[in-house]
């Protein structure tokens, strides 16, 4: 029985014989067709020969763009970005916890020394305690999403801190001499409530960062979260340096170590502010280094203040009186809290900005 050859086989065999004949008789024509096909695939200009084509670097092809997009939204990359936002949120929770603890302890001592003459002096203690509990809860919470209760507490902390600024300003201006060095030294510390405001802002920033979808970039009020938090932290460091400089000036800088809080954190504030405006790899590296120094200075400052209390009459044996006279033990950890917030902001900046 004779085998019937399909028409498709005859056509394919004929095309194959024609290609072989063309390759043998017109090899230059075949190489030109090949070069034109390659130029269409790689966007190579038509005037570039086949020998020069591998040396020419054009824009990325659609295939490479698709590969990069697929890698960006791959399950592993999405998990990595989700973990990054969760870790940054937890570090911001650490910062808010340290700031609220500093406010809670410092306001408890200062308002106790003032005998709680105004009943509103209990408010920062209660709100700072709530913010501290919310921050610790956020630190232990492994879910990569915001919590409505924590968000509300942080908003309350910010509003309470703003009200505290008004009360402290009133306390200074109602005294004889009004805005004078004597009143700034010994009246209610004008910048102290800002720590509670910063605790609320950084805590709310933590909730916004944690709630970011891995398909999107973290943002706060439609601005990049990293740069926004870096700017807030830089301003907070500048205000804290101003308060420390004022009180250390009152102490006449009798200990050379008192110069450190007005030299190290300002550099960190300037570098972090620069990273928020013009991020680069060098700026971010130096900012990270100075922020770690600022964090260490905050813990070291507790030791220096404890030594300052021991030099008062009676030392630590008379702690119930000397701890009220100062220097304030809970004040230096605010530098550590702000430094942790700056480090979290830098991690977000380096994730988004290609130059960082």
- For 201-260, how does the pLDDT look when each residue is reduced to its tens digit (9 = 90+)? 999 998 888 888 777 777 888 888 889 999 999 999 999 999 899 989 988 888 888 999
Contacts of residue 50, defined as CB under 8 A and 6 or more positions apart, other chains included, come to: 31, 34, 35, 38
Looking at the DSSP assignment, which residues form a beta bridge with residue 139?
A: none
CB burial string 190-207: b at 16+ within 10 A, e below: bbbbbbbbbbbbbbbbbb
> Which of 172, 173, 294, 204 lies closest to 241 in space, CA to CA?
294
Q: Which of 25-29, 253-257, 333-337 has the lowest mean pLDDT?
A: 25-29
pLDDT at 318: 87
Higher pLDDT, 125 or 12: 125
327 preceded by a cis bond (ω within 30 of 0): yes
CB atoms near residue 330 (< 10 Å): 20
Q: Is 298 left (phi over 0), alpha (psi -120 to 50) or beta?
A: alpha
Instruction: Give the closest residue to 196 by CA, choosing from 228, 154, 235.
Output: 154
pLDDT in the model for residue 162: 93
> Between β-strands 223-224 and 219-220, what pairing exists: parallel, antiparallel or unpaired?
antiparallel
Do 74 and 88 form a contact (C-beta atoms < 8 A)?
A: no
**Average pLDDT over the chain, rounded to whole?**
81
% the chain with pLDDT above 70: 78
**CB within 8 A of 315, min separation 6: which ones?**
309, 322
């Amino acid at each position: 029985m004779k085998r019937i050859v399909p028409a498709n086989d005859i056509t394919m065999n004929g095309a194959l014989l024609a290609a072989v004949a063309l390759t043998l008789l017109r090899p230059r024509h075949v190489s030109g067709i090949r070069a034109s096909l390659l130029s269409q695939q790689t966007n190579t200009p038509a005037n570039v020969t086949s020998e020069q084509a591998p040396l020419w670097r054009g824009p990325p092809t659609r295939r490479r763009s698709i590969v990069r997009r697929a890698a960006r939204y791959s399950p592993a990359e999405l998990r990595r970005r989700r973990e990054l936002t969760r870790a940054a949120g937890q570090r911001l929770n650490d910062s808010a916890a340290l700031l609220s603890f500093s406010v809670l302890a410092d306001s408890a001592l200062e308002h106790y020394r003032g005998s709680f003459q105004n009943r509103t002096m209990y408010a920062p203690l209660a709100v700072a305690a709530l913010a501290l509990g919310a921050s610790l809860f956020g630190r232990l919470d492994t879910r990569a999403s915001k919590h409505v209760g924590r968000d509300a507490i942080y908003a309350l902390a910010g509003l309470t801190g703003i009200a505290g600024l008004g009360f402290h300003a009133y306390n200074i201006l109602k005294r004889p001499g009004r805005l004078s060095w004597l009143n700034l030294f010994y009246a209610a510390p004008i910048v102290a409530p800002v720590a509670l405001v910063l605790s609320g802002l950084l805590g709310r920033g933590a909730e916004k960062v944690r709630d970011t979808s891995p398909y999107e970039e973290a943002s706060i009020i439609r601005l990049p979260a990293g740069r926004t938090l870096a700017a807030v932290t830089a301003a907070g460091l500048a205000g804290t340096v101003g308060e420390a400089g004022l009180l250390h000036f009152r102490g006449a800088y009798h200990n050379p170590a008192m110069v450190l809080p007005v030299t190290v954190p300002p550099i960190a504030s300037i570098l972090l502010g620069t990273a928020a405006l013009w991020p680069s790899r060098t700026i971010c590296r130096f900012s990270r280094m100075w922020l770690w120094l600022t964090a260490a200075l905050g813990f070291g400052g507790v030791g220096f203040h404890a030594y300052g209390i021991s030099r008062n009459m009676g030392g630590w044996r008379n702690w119930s009186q000397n701890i009220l006279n100062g220097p304030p033990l809970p004040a230096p950890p605010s530098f550590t809290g702000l430094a942790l917030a700056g480090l979290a902001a830098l991690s977000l900046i380096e994730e988004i900005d290609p130059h960082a």
